[in-house]
Amino acid sequence: MTKEECKQLVLEIIADIAPDEDISDVKSDVALREQLELDSMDFLDIVMEIRKKYGIEVPEDDYPQLESLDSSAEYLTPKFNSVKA
Amino acid sequence: MSGLAAGIRLAHFNRNVLILERHNVPGGLNSFYSFDGRKFDVGLHAVTNYVRPGVKGTPLGKLFRQLRIDRDEFDLSEQAGSKVAFPGVELRFTNDFEVFESEVARAFPQQIDNFQSFLKMIREYNELDLNQPAQSARKITAQYISDPVLEEMIYCPVMYYGSARENDMDFSQFVIMFKSLFFEGFARPYDGVRKIIRVLIKKYRTLGGLRKMKCGVKQIICRESRVKELILDNGVNITADHVLSSIGLVETLRLCDDKEKDTEETNVGRLSFVETINILNKQPRELGWEDTIIFFNDWDRFDYSEPDALVDPRSGVICMPNNYLYANEKELEEGVLRVTSLANFKRWTTLPEEEYQEQKKLWHNVLADKAMSFLSPLKGQSLEDLTVYVDMFTPRTIEKYTGHLGGAVYGAPNKSRNGLTHLDNLYLCGTDQGFLGIIGAMLSGISMANLHILKKEARR
């Protein structure tokens, strides 16, 4: 999986959790919270959906890694690739 | 309702969930019934916390996101307009907060600056923080509002729609209610509360959640600070990793085999209600009755406490569910007039049957007359002429169907905000966790499932 594909998966999850948000114009390098109305409940759901859909665990200490799409891809892509392998 | 919301969250994340319900109808404190072919709501006057589509960051939006439910499914229509009516002064409000603000400015011109500072403080307060210290709402309010009439006019709706405490509230509960009634607003599905319950059940079932109706929990067997097993009404024992109880704080503790049967006696709620229902052969609007809800008080002071008499008719709530702005100007089939006032649980539940029926009739008439004094007068006919059917519930009815001790609709005066109990895997949700109203109930189930089950497991 490439980092671009990983970003796409994260965006799909956000669209699922917050269908009332417009995600067509999300900038990769800017914090998600600054662009979208996401609260701590929504962030918990992003983590939970990643776990549910892809079996990837994100420990609580690592939540800050999901701050932006770029940082999420940086953090999650190796995890996706090691699950696949 | 909180249990269903918690169940949806847990089932969505692939937990095996079983919801146990003692009654044969789902919904708990917000339920419904049918009688002689007519459908009635039990609790619902209004879905509070209503905001229009696109308004984000409020409880309603959080709820739809967390439950993965589309807001259209709830079929919410906004109120026409409501008011607080006290002797010689009225404050109207709608789902546009400016209306209430301008009403306060009109009726209490000397208080408007105080009121504005009060609003600012409320806006900035995080009432959903589970670690907020307990504080007297009255004391805080009095620091801002110096006219007792205005203060009581604010407290009348806030208390009637959620206070488990007499004449005061915990401040964070006050803020939850204030925001949900005034900053946000009232709405209702055309089909009433059953619409919402149907949506929740369908969602829960689709996710694989199981329900067992007419099967309550008889006892909680505790060992080493944990729930070892539950004994059900039908004698079956079941075990679970986590147990989430929505039956109330005292009610839950009293099921535990390591607690006395009279545990937490002082935390049994004292506030119960009667509600009268008149089904009318006209739409209220045709009679000039256009308000959705009227919170009334006709005494010198507003007294929100357990009455000595069977009913305290000095204050109450009049609700006309016809007066919502339903899509395509659809009207409810019949007119409905509901009147709620405070009632004394002990007195109602110790009446011999015959007298109970007599007192119901008597107080129905008293409350009907009271309601009429707040509604435009009828021309040449009486309420009786217009009424095709009546019903009434009392504290006895409430305890019978909800299991809430003392018929206390809003539960225990001291809440368990974090939902924790003396047992590691037993948590509370619903009224006694302390988020109020229908949306609050569902958010309570969601928050407690998140906090105690999903988050905890995610951490492992």
User: Which residue among B56, B66, B454 places its CB closest to the CB of A37?
Assistant: B56
Touching check for A52 and chain B: CB below 8 Å? yes
Residue to test with chain B: of A33, A38, A39, most B Cβ within 10 A: A39
- pLDDT score for A85: 59
Whether A48 and B70 lie within 8 Å, measured CB to CB: no
CA distance B22 to chain A (A): 31
The answer as to whether B58 is a domain residue is: yes
Domain edge (last residue) among B379, B402, B425 = B402
Tell me the domain boundaries of chain A. 3-84
Q: Verify that B214 and B70 share a domain, yes or no.
A: yes
Nearest one of B321, B319, B351 to B333, comparing CA atoms: B321
User: Which residue among B54, B66, B459 places its CB closest to the CB of A41?
Assistant: B66
Q: What is the pLDDT of residues B106-132, one digit of tens each?
A: 999 999 999 999 999 999 999 878 788
- pLDDT score for B449: 97
The answer as to whether B182 is a domain residue is: no
Neighboring chain B residues of A19 at a CB cutoff of 8 Å: 65, 70
Q: Which residue has the higher pLDDT, B437 or B76?
A: B76
Cα distances from B12 to residues A51, B71, B446, in angstroms, run 12, 18, 12
- pLDDT score for B2: 97
Q: Verify that B274 and B396 share a domain, yes or no.
A: yes
Domain edge (last residue) among B127, B152, B176 = B176
The answer as to whether B181 is a domain residue is: no
Domain edge (last residue) among B176, B202, B226 = B176
Touching check for B57 and chain A: CB below 8 Å? yes
d(CA B204, CA B206): 6
The answer as to whether B354 is a domain residue is: yes
CA distance B13 to chain A (A): 7
Neighboring chain B residues of A39 at a CB cutoff of 8 Å: 57, 62
Neighboring chain A residues of B446 at a CB cutoff of 8 Å: 41
How many CB pairs below 8 Å do chains A and B form together? 40
Q: Verify that B85 and B58 share a domain, yes or no.
A: no
What is the number of domains present in chain B? 3
Stretch B270-289: mean pLDDT, rounded? 97
Q: Verify that B12 and B103 share a domain, yes or no.
A: no
**CATH classification number, A3-84, choose in 1.10.1200.10, 3.40.50.20, 3.40.50.970, 3.40.30.10:** 1.10.1200.10
Q: Any idea what the CATH number is for the domain that residue B449 is in?
A: 3.50.50.60
Whether B70 and A59 lie within 8 Å, measured CB to CB: no
d(CA A52, CA A45): 10
Banded pLDDT at B460 (limits 50, 70, 90) = low
Could you tell me which chain B residue has the CA closest to the CA of A60?
B459
d(CA B11, CA B211): 12
Quick one: what percent of chain B has pLDDT higher than 90? 91
Whether B458 and A20 lie within 8 Å, measured CB to CB: no
DSSP per-residue codes, B431-443: TTTT--HHHHHHH
The answer as to whether B184 is a domain residue is: no
Torsions phi, psi for B199 (to 5 deg): -65, -45
Q: Exposed, middle or buried, B315 (CB in 10 Å: 0-12/13-18/19+)?
A: buried
- Geometric angle at alpha carbon B405, from B10 and B162, rounded to 5°: 70
**Complex confidence, ipTM:** 0.93
Residues 6 or more apart whose Cβ sits within 8 Å of residue B63:
B5, B69, B439, B442, B443, B446
Residue B333: CB atoms within 10 A of its CB come to 11
Beta strand B82-86 with B293-297 is parallel
Stretch B263-289: mean pLDDT, rounded? 96
Low-confidence winner among B72-86, B348-362, B405-419 (lowest mean pLDDT) = B405-419
Q: Verify that B84 and B73 share a domain, yes or no.
A: no
CA distance A15 to chain B (A): 10
Could you tell me which chain A residue has the CA closest to the CA of B63?
A41
User: Which residue among B13, B53, B450 places its CB closest to the CB of A41?
Assistant: B450
* Token pair recorded at residue B366: 């008293």
Q: What is the pLDDT of residues B401-419, one digit of tens each?
A: 999 999 999 999 999 999 9
Q: What is the identity of the amino acid at B300? A: D
CA distance A18 to chain B (A): 6
Torsions phi, psi for B230 (to 5 deg): -110, 135
Torsions phi, psi for B172 (to 5 deg): -65, -30
Q: Verify that B155 and B275 share a domain, yes or no.
A: no
The answer as to whether B199 is a domain residue is: yes
Our separate counts of H helices and E strands in chain B read 15, 18
Neighboring chain B residues of A20 at a CB cutoff of 8 Å: 53-54, 56, 61, 64-65
Domain with B261, as residue range(s), is: 2-77+190-266+410-459
Stretch B254-280: mean pLDDT, rounded? 96
Stretch B224-248: mean pLDDT, rounded? 97
For residue A22, pLDDT beyond 90: yes
Residue to test with chain A: of B13, B51, B58, B65, most A Cβ within 10 A: B65
CA distance A46 to chain B (A): 11
Could you tell me which chain A residue has the CA closest to the CA of B13?
A52
Cα distances from B309 to residues B166, B313, B341, B345, B392, in angstroms, run 16, 10, 12, 10, 17
For residue B459, pLDDT beyond 80: no
Nearest one of B339, B328, B333 to B293, comparing CA atoms: B339
Nearest one of B199, B197, B187, B191 to B46, comparing CA atoms: B187
Q: Verify that B292 and B434 share a domain, yes or no.
A: no
Whether A18 and B65 lie within 8 Å, measured CB to CB: yes
Could you tell me which chain B residue has the CA closest to the CA of A62?
B459
Q: Exposed, middle or buried, B166 (CB in 10 Å: 0-12/13-18/19+)?
A: middle
Q: Verify that B224 and B85 share a domain, yes or no.
A: no
Could you tell me which chain B residue has the CA closest to the CA of A61?
B459
- pLDDT score for B43: 74
Touching check for B66 and chain A: CB below 8 Å? yes
Whether A45 and B458 lie within 8 Å, measured CB to CB: no
Name the region of B399 (left: φ>0; alpha: ψ -120 to 50; beta: rest).
Answer: alpha
Q: Verify that B260 and B146 share a domain, yes or no.
A: no
Q: What is the mean pLDDT of chain B?
A: 95
